[in-house]
Amino acid sequence: MLKGKTVLLGVTGSIAAYKIAGLASMLVKQGAKVHVLMTENATNFINPITFESLTGNKCLVDTFDRNFEFSVEHVALAKQADVVMVAPASANVIGKIAHGIADDMLTTTIMACRCRKIIAPAMNTNMYENPILQDNLEICRGYGMEVIDPACGYLACGDIGAGKMPEPEVLYQYILREAGYPKDLAGKKILVTAGPTREAMDPVRYITNHSTGKMGYAIARVAAYRGAQVTLVSGPVDMAPPLFADVVAVESARQMFEAVTSRSREQDIIIKAAAVADYRPASVGTEKIKKKDSDLSIALERTDDILGWLGSHRREGQFLCGFSMETQNMLENSRAKLKKKHIDMIVANNLKVEGAGFGTDTNLVTIITEKMEKELPMMSKEEVADSLLSEICG
Ligand code: CTP
């Protein structure tokens, strides 16, 4: 998604500067052209040669370096840039950016850039909380720059508090959102469900399935990258919540039903990737079920079919997409679900095919609507999410 995009990374003097090597490497692996600009102070924390080796481009520090390719290098670079990220951004450089001071390669280039600028402050908590710094960040926001909240944690100075630079993976997602995708879902509200549900038997045990939530989380991430306002209703999974979505955590099918149906009316698109339990224990003991010598049978009752409910209560113009996981007669069974639930699209996959289904990072799916059937090649779940959203956008 970042293939051919030009990313400028501005690195300032903070202990977190070394982590930007990881970010530069991630971006290069995704095909981005990466140029690193450093302040003089930053070179005390990481050697420019590290960035030059990773990006294949000269690392720019001094505006008056005589050894350059372009005649006015900061302007030439600024013109090529699709996005600029200043990370870690020191209080000093944030102050300069906020007030238009351009006295080195980094700040001069930023002044000359028309593309979006993203700032990731990293400093001691007291500096971060200083009203002067906060005012400067507000000024930057006012000029349309994006400011990433620092993480809380143990800081290099020994304090614990806000001021830590977010991890490179987080910074990478901000760049991806800015430069990696068209914003063709801007203005759309999308609700995605993901993960399994847990149906309690007693305070200790529950019935669930093998869903890891990876497919639904990928859809939520990509929909947000493409500009949608995303709500993710998630069953219990072992993943960090996606950055740019409102996450509603649920456990049982009943809770998922309530979370989805109470929000469904305002949604333009609903994608139900969750593996919702079809049955739950008919009664839930308040005390732990103790074992006996004899076998045990548990009576199960049907859960509500959330997608079925959405199909029969849909708002005019709303798009409904379900998922169908099968081990046999995949297409036939999936087409039947499309009809029975009165939905627009169903994404079918066969659990028995290698690389598809639960827990994998790839998927092999067939997209089915009333009018068409399209088998996608094996691809990453993010690519499946992207193709699926493109189909929905028509
Ligand atoms: N679904 C739902 N509510 C349920 C069960 C499933 O909304 N109680 C949704 C899933 O999120 C998915 C689709 O319905 O989008 C799956 O359809 P379904 O017929 O329930 O599939 P299976 O559970 O696989 O059905 P079966 O066991 O009959 O194959």
Q: Judge whether 288 is annotated as a binding position.
A: yes
* Segments of the chain assigned to CATH 3.40.50.1950: 6-180
Q: Is 305 in the pocket of ligand 1 (CB under 6 A)?
A: yes
pLDDT tens-place string over residues 338-364: 999 999 999 998 888 888 888 889 999
> Is 157 a catalytic site residue?
yes
Q: Which two tokens stand for residue 284?
A: 């839930």
What's the pLDDT score for residue 222? Answer: 98
Check if 307 has its Cβ closer than 6 Å to any atom of ligand 1. Answer: yes
CA atoms within 13 A on the CB side of 109: 32
| pLDDT at res. 159 | 81
Question: Is 280 close to ligand 1, i.e. is its CB under 6 Å away?
Answer: no
pLDDT of residue 71: 47
* Protein residue closest via CA to atom 22 of ligand 1: 324
* Active-site option among 115, 157, 321, 393: 157
Is 352 annotated in a binding site? The answer is no
Q: Which atom of ligand 1 is nearest to the CA of 333?
A: 29
- Is 278 marked as binding a ligand? yes
CATH architecture of 6-180: 3-Layer(aba) Sandwich (3.40)
Ligand 1 mutation pick, 260, 314, 324, max ligand atoms within 8 A of CB: 324
Q: Which CATH number fits domain 189-288+295-393: 3.40.640.10, 3.20.20.150, 3.10.560.10, 3.40.50.10300?
A: 3.40.50.10300
Which amino acid, one-letter code, is at 200? A
The pairing of strands 319-326 and 300-302 is unpaired
pLDDT of residue 153: 84
What share of residues in the chain are helix, strand, coil (percent, to 5)?
35, 25, 40
pLDDT reported for residue 69: 57
Q: State whether the beta carbon of 276 lies less than 6 angstroms from ligand 1.
A: yes
CA-nearest residue, atom 27 of ligand 1 = 278
Q: Is the CB of 36 under 6 A from ligand 1?
A: no
Below-50 pLDDT ranges, the chain: 71
pLDDT of the residue at 66: 57
CA–CA separation, 369 and 373 (whole Å):
6
Cβ 322 under 6 angstroms from ligand 1: yes
Residue 346 CA: which ligand 1 atom is closest? 15
The atom number, within ligand 1, closest to the CA of 310 reads 7
pLDDT attached to residue 348: 96
Q: What is the pLDDT of residue 158?
A: 82
The span from the CA of 335 to the CA of 337, in Å, is 5
Q: What is the pLDDT of residue 357?
A: 81
Is 244 marked as a binding-site residue? no
Give 62-100 as a 3 state SS string. CCCCCCCCCCCHHHHHHHHCCEEEEEEECHHHHHHHHCC
pLDDT for 73 equals: 63
**Which segments of the chain belong to CATH 3.40.50.10300?**
189-288+295-393
In which residue are the tokens 């649920």 written?
Answer: 250
Whether the CB-CB separation of 140 and 119 falls below 8 Å is answered with: yes
